[in-house]
Amino acid sequence: MGSFSLMHWIVVLAIILILFGAGKLPRVMGDFAKGIKAFKAGMKEEDEAEAPASPAQVPPPSAATAAATPAASVAEHAREPAKTV
């Protein structure tokens, strides 16, 4: 009951030919193919536009600046008086 037989498909194709005519059908399918090609080209352009927009990699900080930063924060905490509860 869920699938169509060969006779069903023949009837469907006959109705499509009657509605669109034999001359219009190739033109309709050609327009459909052009639409698919335009869609694929648009997707490709979107992917190419996103690729250069990716963020540049930032090099890791040098060892000298990395070592100086924690020492400075430790020195600042040493100056603050201890809090009592």
Q: Flag whether 26 is in a domain.
A: yes
Which has more confidence, 82 or 29? 29
15 token code pair: 């109705």
Which has more confidence, 75 or 48? 48
Q: Give backbone dihedrals phi and psi of 77, rounded to 5 degrees, phi first.
A: -70, -25
Which has more confidence, 8 or 56? 8
Q: Flag whether 67 is in a domain.
A: no
pLDDT tens per residue, range 7-54 = 999 999 899 888 878 788 788 889 999 999 999 999 888 777 776 655
Structurally, the chain folds into a number of domains equal to 1
Query: pTM (2 decimals)?
Result: 0.37
Q: pLDDT band for position 76 (50/70/90)?
A: low
Give the 3-state secondary structure of residue 22: helix
Structural domain for 26, as ranges = 12-46
